[in-house]
Amino acid sequence: MRTISLRSAQRTNNLDGQSFITTELHTSHHHNLDLVHTNFERKKSYLLGMINYDDSIFFTQYLTQSQLIHQDQEEVVEARFTYDLSPISISLKMGCKPWYDYLTTLSALIGGTFSVFKMLTTWMKHTF
């Protein structure tokens, strides 16, 4: 398992280095963080598939929303952090398809088209 690159980490840490200062009375910052677990899997093969190389990176992405809230005079001013853990995980896979996969797909399309036209012509011959 590898760690995420510095450039990618800077894109996921949205609150780093920011300051949230309130200048008015009875105002506070509320931060909502939506956390999503992500798995990035990369597969490579060398020497016609004899050497396989798998590389997985696990990291957490989060989307932040910050709001400045005006509160009543009776309420206690507080900074609030709300975390929303997503039950869904994102799985990204990067790899190459072998050349014969395209040939198989093309053959299936041609054969399927031929079969549909053959059924239509047979149906039309018996109906009309």
Identify whether 1 is part of a domain: no
Are 19 and 43 in a shared domain? yes
Are 20 and 78 in a shared domain? yes
Are 44 and 67 in a shared domain? yes
- Give the helix/strand (H/E) hosting 106: helix 99-127
- Residue of 42, 68, 72 whose CA lies nearest to 54: 42
Higher pLDDT, 54 or 86: 86
pLDDT for residue 3: 47
Are 51 and 65 in a shared domain? yes
pLDDT for residue 70: 85
Binned at pLDDT 50, 70 and 90, residue 115 comes out as very high
pLDDT for residue 8: 52
Are the C-beta atoms of residues 54 and 104 closer than 8 Å to each other? no
Number of independent structural domains in the chain: 2
Are 32 and 82 in a shared domain? yes
**Looking at residues 77-100, what average pLDDT do you find?**
81
Are 72 and 119 in a shared domain? no
Q: Does 44 score more than 60 pLDDT?
A: yes
pLDDT for residue 53: 63
Domain range for residue 114?
A: 97-128
Identify whether 68 is part of a domain: yes
Are 13 and 46 in a shared domain? yes
Provide the mean pLDDT of the chain. Answer: 78
Are 121 and 111 in a shared domain? yes
Are 66 and 85 in a shared domain? yes
Are the C-beta atoms of residues 59 and 12 closer than 8 Å to each other? yes
Are 52 and 106 in a shared domain? no
